[in-house]
Amino acid sequence: MTRQGGTFRTAVFTGMVGFALVSGTLATAFGEGSSVMQGSSPGAAGTPGSDQAKLDRIRTEEKKLLEMRQDLLRQIDQNQKLERQISKDRVFSDKLRSKEMQQLIQIYEKMAPRTAAAQINMMTEDLALVLISGMNPRKASRIMRYVDPKIAVRISSDLASRPVRTKDAKGSP
């Protein structure tokens, strides 16, 4: 079986007459001219049932291959999505581990909770997420009490979907 131009071609040779299967039809390759026959071959080529069985097996195999291709394409798409998410998480983790960010987190931890919350309400969601996730959980909870409820919900849902924990963020074992 060989692949040519996006279709599979199979040659069946019986005696002196050769047949090539092309898109579900038998075409005479040698011998009696260039006639195209559906489903069966002349008496010299074998029994009509055996050729039909070969056709059925080839069609079944082609369907299986197409299904496998679809599955592989779905898996590739899913893996690409996971790769993008991992990349985003890696960037998030890098931001969290940077020295400047650690200093900023400490500054916000030392602020009065209402003051820190007022500033978190005005900053970008990504920065707020990095700050809150890097804080001591007790200090973060005191600040989150005063954060606008809509913003607090978004931060909480983002934190719930991230695998980063406070211990990991601060680099302690």
Q: What is the pLDDT of residues 46-76, one digit of tens each?
A: 566 788 999 999 999 999 999 999 999 999 9
Backbone angles phi, psi at 41, to 5 degrees: -120, 170
- 10 sits in the region (left: phi over 0; alpha: psi -120 to 50; else beta) called beta
Q: What burial letters (b/e) apply to 111-122, b meaning 16+ CB within 10 Å? A: eebeebbeebee
pTM: 0.43
Domain positions in the chain: 2-92, 98-169
Q: How far is CA 67 from CA 1, 18, 58, 72, 74, in A?
A: 19, 30, 14, 9, 11
144 close to 121: Cβ distance less than 8 angstroms? no
Q: Mean pLDDT highest for which of 14-18, 50-54, 72-76, 86-90?
A: 72-76
- With 80 as the cut, is the pLDDT of residue 119 above it? yes
